[in-house]
Chain A
Amino acid sequence: MSRRLILLLLMLIAAAPIEAGELRGTGDLGVVVERAKGSLQVIETSGNSVLGRIDGLGDLSHASVVFSRDERYAYVFGRDGGLTKVDVLEHRVVARVIQSGNSIGGAISQDGRLIAVSNYEPGGVRIFDAETLDPVADIPAVYGANLQSKVVGLVDAPGNRFIFSLWDAGEIWSVEMSDPENPVITKYRDVGKNPYDALITPDGRYYIAGLYGEDGLALLDLWYPERGVKRILNDYGKGEQKLPVYKMPHLEGWAKAGRHLFIPAVGQHQVLVVDTDNWQETGRLDVHGQPVFVMARPDGRQIWVNFAFPYNDTIQVIDTRDLKLVETLKPGKGVLHMEFEPRGGEVWVSVRDIDRLQVYDTSDFKMLADQPAEKPSGIFLSARAHRTGL
């Protein structure tokens, strides 16, 4: 090697640290969907700041995100069928495919190797290699006389499975992906009319689908899948006049405190309280409007609720010790999503109509940060990488 070349190499090495930037972890990072602009903001929760933006992600209305298990990559599920893998450290798109005409969300498998996307058009689930986004499996949601159903409530489950619900068909399907070449599908029929969304408990045991078309919820115990789907809260809402629903509620995560599960009522200004020991309704909390998200602070001590149009300027906080309302916040019109930091001290809030991203202290409800964002919707922190169903 010539002396000149060595000199050149030394100069390059000396310059490298400046160009590569400082090393940093990803545990305090997250992304915020800017739905109208088709971009993500990359945020960090240690100083509550915005680090950058990733553009070119298509139609992000109702977009959601899951993280790779190393918390470096985020997979973005767009409404236009776009599936995009982004690098949250380098703020760039790594891979992108348009995998359907109209999609609604996705999940990452337990082993981190597969990404599943649920589609409205064509109705079904498609599964991709998490590394390359190459197609792995296509599962059309076919039912009845060759009809195809929109798919909602797709989650990952233990045993490298994906579970999802068929809106038009009223079915729940479980797909076991241990051998990606040969997905094993189990179908549960007649679970109820129009399941609109679903959740799985963090222990991966219970899959619960909310029903729009009738009262109650559909429950699948994944420890005993052979027992089938049973209906819970059958009596909820019987004989009561339902209000028009201006936004479908979400079932995400697991708003649980002790043995109580908190879920949004459909068409009522109420949060339902369910005893998870016997799956009976134990109470209803009157709230400001029809709930959209009902989220538990990670320690289970508080429940935070946001609301459907036209009450979407408000957040209410319930103390789970006595089920009393402790705070009503008015962040502004269009509160779409709330995301707790993993240990629960702070919560991020997106306020769509006033284009703001706010951070609140959950102990005294003081606003800690208030930053611009373009029509922000979902907020996703990297700690989701390690949680089943998120």
Chain B
Amino acid sequence: MKRTALIVLSLISSAQIALASDISSVRKSELLNLLKHDCGSCHGLSLKGGLGPALTPDVLRQKPIEYITATILYGRSGTPMPPWRPFMSEGEANWLAQRIKEGVQ
């Protein structure tokens, strides 16, 4: 499990180089809408938590971007967090992870 996570992390770090500039502004607003409303159905509209944990910058301070990206893409087994890989690329998940970590308005 740990090794898989490590492989996943390294895959992501190599993939993320081709990043934010490749994501169109239309797609960015789609992703933010998804974050607010679909992630928000468990984590709260303002990401302050619901059945799922709060995702505020304060809570996530200790979590590396790669960890957050991997959680978005592959979910967390043993919890209700589902994988979002079918709906976004690794670069897009990485961009979203950065937005979450710095705090989204």
One of A178-186, A244-252, A341-349 contacting the partner: A244-252
B41 is an interface residue with CB less than 8 A from chain A: yes
Q: Is B83 within 8 A of A244, CB to CB? A: yes
Chain B contacts for A60, CB-based, 8 A:
45
Contacts A/B (CB < 8 Å), 19 sampled: A35-B45, A36-B36, A60-B45, A61-B44, A61-B46, A61-B50, A62-B41, A62-B45, A62-B50, A79-B50, A80-B48, A102-B48, A104-B50, A167-B51, A248-B51, A309-B38, A310-B86, A310-B87, A375-B37
Q: Is B45 within 8 A of A212, CB to CB? A: no
Total of A-B residue pairs, C-beta within 8 Å = 61
Chain B contacts for A247, CB-based, 8 A:
38, 41-42
B103 is an interface residue with CB less than 8 A from chain A: no
Nearest CB in chain B: distance from A19 CB, A = 38
Q: Is B50 within 8 A of A212, CB to CB? A: no
Tell me whether chain A's interface is mostly helix, strand or loop, or mixed. loop
Chain A contacts for B89, CB-based, 8 A:
none
Q: Is A79 within 8 A of B44, CB to CB? A: yes
B75 is an interface residue with CB less than 8 A from chain A: yes
Alpha-carbon distance between A170 and B46 when the two chains are bound, in angstroms: 27
Tell me whether chain B's interface is mostly helix, strand or loop, or mixed. loop
Q: Is B48 within 8 A of A246, CB to CB? A: no
For chain A, residues 171 to 202, give those with C-beta under 8 angstroms from any C-beta of chain B: 194, 196
Name which residue of chain A comes closest to B36, CB basis: A36
A214 is an interface residue with CB less than 8 A from chain B: no
Given contact pairs A59-B44, A62-B41, A102-B44, A150 touches B82 in the complex (Cβ within 8 A):
no
Chain A contacts for B46, CB-based, 8 A:
59, 61, 80
Alpha-carbon distance between A79 and B41 when the two chains are bound, in angstroms: 11
Q: Is B37 within 8 A of A334, CB to CB? A: yes
Assuming A120-B50, A352-B37, what are 17 further A-B pairs, CB within 8 angstroms? A36-B36, A61-B40, A61-B41, A61-B44, A61-B45, A61-B50, A62-B41, A150-B51, A152-B51, A244-B82, A246-B38, A246-B82, A247-B41, A247-B42, A334-B37, A353-B37, A375-B37
Which of B's residues lie within 8 Å of A, judged by CB?
Answer: 33, 36-38, 40-42, 44-46, 48-51, 75, 80, 82-83, 86-87
Nearest CB in chain B: distance from A191 CB, A = 17
Chain A contacts for B38, CB-based, 8 A:
246-247, 309
Kindly list the 8 A-B residue pairs having the minimum CB-CB distance in the complex, ordered from nearest.
A61-B45, A244-B82, A309-B38, A247-B41, A61-B40, A246-B82, A79-B44, A59-B45
Which of A's residues lie within 8 Å of B, judged by CB?
Answer: 35-36, 59-62, 79-80, 102, 104, 120-121, 150, 152, 167, 194, 196, 212, 244-248, 309-310, 334, 352-353, 375
Q: Is B42 within 8 A of A248, CB to CB? A: yes
Nearest CB in chain A: distance from B39 CB, A = 10
Q: Is A102 within 8 A of B50, CB to CB? A: yes
Set B33, B49, B83, B86: member contacting A102, Cβ < 8 A: B49
Alpha-carbon distance between A52 and B55 when the two chains are bound, in angstroms: 34
Chain A contacts for B83, CB-based, 8 A:
244
Q: Is B45 within 8 A of A79, CB to CB? A: yes
Alpha-carbon distance between A245 and B83 when the two chains are bound, in angstroms: 9
Alpha-carbon distance between A194 and B78 when the two chains are bound, in angstroms: 12
Name which residue of chain B comes closest to A266, CB basis: B80
Nearest CB in chain A: distance from B9 CB, A = 21
Alpha-carbon distance between A247 and B43 when the two chains are bound, in angstroms: 11
Chain B contacts for A79, CB-based, 8 A:
44-45, 48, 50
